[in-house]
């Protein structure tokens, strides 16, 4: 009897030991067997709601806006799944009502940044060893949570914190966020399925797509909640761990998006949410030997500065960092004499003034043939002056505020430059006030100098400059488009004449990474128009396509030989 009990205890002890060792192996990143090849759900774009007056969706959204606006929120750092408070507290204000502090947030210092980096490295082995199907499931669930349970909450934060009207919040925070997460899952499967097409007899060749060694630094802008989601989630999906620094002007919406991803199952430490001083944090990150990639959206000036810092530190790194960035634009609409005038006007108003021109793709240059200018001018000015502007809580407002005082000051300085420049005439707008919020009327400038300041420099606000060209000079005007600015992000041509459209498209080949025919130069949709430009506009890795995800993997080629060789000499040696 005693012997049998000892045997039982011995077996129990052995079983417990095996369980402990299995747990330890999982914690250190031993791969879990995959015993099936899975087929993804059908991936399509998230449908948009119209939010017409009296609809249930408009009422629910406005209720969420009222609820979010009724209290002040506090956002901690999230490092390794734990809330961290530093005592260095900053504020995010409502740009439409600058007396309202929408949220306060903790600002990371060197100690917190170091803890976040070390946490990403500690989480890396287990995360990268998780089967891709399980990582995909997490982000598919995050997309569904955004599209359903948290849709209005995320939109409300984007409206109040970033000055978006209902439609702009819908196509950004709700649909584009969900689209990025879902289509990235589809694209990741396409990458893993890319395998060598040939195998010599007795050989099996395979490709594996390893995550990068080290951690990814994601730096997101204020203007698109969805960009913040993608900057963090895309590299994480591919098995990387990420330090996410959100814009100080979008902390609330970005935190909600981050919290949704945690609810969906993103493990602690895989994405660290770390608001902080951009300059100090970036220097600390770039000094770390395990820095593996920068995933950035923001200004061209900042991106170039970052690139130089990385280059200067190149000898510190364990591997060459992947630099992925989308920056500025000075985007154009080029009107051919055959264009449909009403289509030009409506698309230009939307392209230049939706979301107050605060899109990197926004139209800020318009080239119009003299033969069509009188009609286009009258309709363009009338449309601009008719635009309703005010708080985002009023659904009838097409425009809201610009993001903050610095942006307001910069944009209004350009308007005053045009007001005082002999080659420029303000034909619409030109008015502004920051008494309550940062409101600038849609402004249209007509210039006789195609190289005037407002035609060359990115303004990032509701300012459109028009150059009227002689119809006979269309060829020279096309050349001007590519010569005027260093950017190459988006552009559009308007022509009913098909041959003209073909020729313009060919001649403007390198002026825009996203090119539109008879449509505005904004509004790229994930899975339909992968987004990005070259020249000074970024690395053109095309978020919304398989190309972006390939930047966050390091392929390994494996050759397995099935038949032992019988000697080392070659046939020619006989």
Exposed/middle/buried for residue 19 (C-beta within 10 Å: 0-12, 13-18, 19+): exposed
Between CA 494 and CA 334 the distance in angstroms is 6
What's 83's DSSP letter?
Answer: E
Between CA 120 and CA 258 the distance in angstroms is 15
3-state secondary structure of 411: helix
3-state secondary structure of 313: coil
Between CA 361 and CA 384 the distance in angstroms is 19
Among the listed residues 330, 329, 341, the one whose alpha carbon sits nearest the alpha carbon of residue 518: 341
Tokens of 97: 């009502």
CB atoms within 10 A of CB 205: 14
User: Active site includes 114?
Assistant: no
Unique residue bearing structure tokens 């990387």: 240
Hey, which bits of 263-337 come out as E strands?
A: 271-273, 291-297, 322-326, 331-335
Among the listed residues 379, 434, 373, the one whose alpha carbon sits nearest the alpha carbon of residue 408: 434
Between CA 68 and CA 162 the distance in angstroms is 13
Vertex 170 angle, CA 271 and 396, to 5°: 140
How distant is the alpha carbon of residue 3 from its chain centre?
Answer: 67
Unique residue bearing structure tokens 């530093």: 86
Annotated catalytic residue, options 106, 176, 326, 446: 326
Tokens of 214: 């080290």
Between CA 381 and CA 373 the distance in angstroms is 12
| Contact between 192 and 161 (Cβ < 8 Å) | no
Between CA 494 and CA 472 the distance in angstroms is 17
Residues 6+ apart with CB under 8 A from 395: 51, 53, 58, 62, 165, 166
| Contact between 365 and 332 (Cβ < 8 Å) | yes
Q: Residues 98-127, buried b or exposed e (16+ Cβ, 10 A)?
A: beeebbbbbbbbeebbebbbbbbbebbebb
Among the listed residues 40, 200, 7, the one whose alpha carbon sits nearest the alpha carbon of residue 135: 40
User: Active site includes 360?
Assistant: yes
Catalytically active residues, by annotation: 326, 360
């Amino acid at each position: 009897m005693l012997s049998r009990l000892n045997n039982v205890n011995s077996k129990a002890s052995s079983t417990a030991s095996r369980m402990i060792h299995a747990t330890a192996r999982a914690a250190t990143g031993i791969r879990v067997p995959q015993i099936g090849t899975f087929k993804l759900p059908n991936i399509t774009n998230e449908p948009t709601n119209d939010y017409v007056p009296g609809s249930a969706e408009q009422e629910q959204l406005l209720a969420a806006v009222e609820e979010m606006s009724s209290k002040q929120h506090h956002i901690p750092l999230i490092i390794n799944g734990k809330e961290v408070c530093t005592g260095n507290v900053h504020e995010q204000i409502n740009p439409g009502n600058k007396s309202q502090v929408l949220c306060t947030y903790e600002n990371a210092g060197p100690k917190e940044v170091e803890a976040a980096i070390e946490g990403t490295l500690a989480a890396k082995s287990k995360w990268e060893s998780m089967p891709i199907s399980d990582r995909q499931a997490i982000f598919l669930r995050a997309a569904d949570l955004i599209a359903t349970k948290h849709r209005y909450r995320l939109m409300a934060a984007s409206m109040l914190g970033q000055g978006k009207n209902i439609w702009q919040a819908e196509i950004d925070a709700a649909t584009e966020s969900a689209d990025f997460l879902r289509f990235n899952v589809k694209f990741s499967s396409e990458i893993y399925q890319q395998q060598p097409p040939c195998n010599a007899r007795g050989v099996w060749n395979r490709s594996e797509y390893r995550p990068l060694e080290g951690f990814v630094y994601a730096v997101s802008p204020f203007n698109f909640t969805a960009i913040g989601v993608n900057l963090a989630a895309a590299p994480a999906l591919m098995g990387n761990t990420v330090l996410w620094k959100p814009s100080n002007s979008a902390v609330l919406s970005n935190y909600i998006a981050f919290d949704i991803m945690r609810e969906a199952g993103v493990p602690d430490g895989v994405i660290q949410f770390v608001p902080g001083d951009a300059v100090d944090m970036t220097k600390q990150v770039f000094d770390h030997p395990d820095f593996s990639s920068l995933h950035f959206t923001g200004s061209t000036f900042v991106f170039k500065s970052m690139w130089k810092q990385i280059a200067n530190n190149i000898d510190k790194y364990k591997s060459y960092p992947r630099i992925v960035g989308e920056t500025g634009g000075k985007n154009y609409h080029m009107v051919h004499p055959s264009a449909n005038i009403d289509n030009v006007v409506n698309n230009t108003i939307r392209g230049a003034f939706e979301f107050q021109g605060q899109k990197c793709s926004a139209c800020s240059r318009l080239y119009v043939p003299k033969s069509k200018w009188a009609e286009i001018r009258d309709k363009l000015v009338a449309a601009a002056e008719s635009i309703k502007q005010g708080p985002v809580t009023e659904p009838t407002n097409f425009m809201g505020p610009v993001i903050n005082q610095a942006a307001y000051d910069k944009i209004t300085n350009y308007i005053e430059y045009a007001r005082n420049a002999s080659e420029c005439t303000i034909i619409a707008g030109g008015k502004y006030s920051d008494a309550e919020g940062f409101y600038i009327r849609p402004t249209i400038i007509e210039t006789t100098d195609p190289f005037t300041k407002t035609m060359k420099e990115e303004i990032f606000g509701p300012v459109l400059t028009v150059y009227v060209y002689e119809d006979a000079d269309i060829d020279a005007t096309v050349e001007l488009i590519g010569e005027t600015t260093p950017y190459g992000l988006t552009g559009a041509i308007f022509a009913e004449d098909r041959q003209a459209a073909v020729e313009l498209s060919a001649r403007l080949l390198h002026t825009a990474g996203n090119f539109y025919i008879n449509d505005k130069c904004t509004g790229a949709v994930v899975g339909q128009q992968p987004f990005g430009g070259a020249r000074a506009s970024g690395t053109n890795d095309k978020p919304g396509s398989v190309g972006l995800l390939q930047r966050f993997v390091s392929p390994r080629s494996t050759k397995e030989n099935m038949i032992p060789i019988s000697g080392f000499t070659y046939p020619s040696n006989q």
